[in-house]
Amino acid sequence: MTLETILPPERALFDVPGGSKKRVLEFFSTFIAQNTPSLDSQEVFARLIGRERLGSTGIGNGVAIPHARSPHCHSPVAAFLKLAEPIDFDAIDGEPVDLVFVLLVPEEADDTHLALLSQVASVMNDVDTRVGLRKSTSQRELHERLIEAIRRQTPS
């Protein structure tokens, strides 16, 4: 399983209103629950916030990778949000975040969870990828650039 298979074009969201870490996580939780019948927005939000309490998922360079396990998630779900304005995400480098890659995995998906998180980190650690994503001017362009970056990082 690769990121490409769990990130359809409709889950690459462009110009998402930010405001705060809490608002972004609420936005994602509502969005994903509307598109995935087995998921409840309140439960998804609670799990993402619970994970943030363990330590910020802001990995630096304007990137955050909020992630959580959910017993109601039957297969991994990913979404990418390019925020309209950078927000404080308590990132390790103290910089505001404008690129948010969210990952939800089934409760028992240990190896899958770690492999997908590793893929996300590899993709988002690439400076050219981040620059390209920030230059995107549409949802379609954002998704295409993200998929290109994932393909470059994923061994065939």
Asked if residues 3 and 150 have their Cβ atoms less than 8 Å apart, the reply is yes
4 token code pair? 């490409």
Q: Which of 58, 82, 78 is nearest to 68 (CA)?
A: 78
Let me know if 67 is a catalytic residue: yes
How many C-beta neighbours within 10 Å does residue 127 have?
A: 8
CA 93 centroid distance within chain? 18
59 token code pair? 């990995």
Which listed residue (67, 74, 113, 143) is catalytic? 67
Give the residue numbers annotated as catalytic, written as ranges: 67
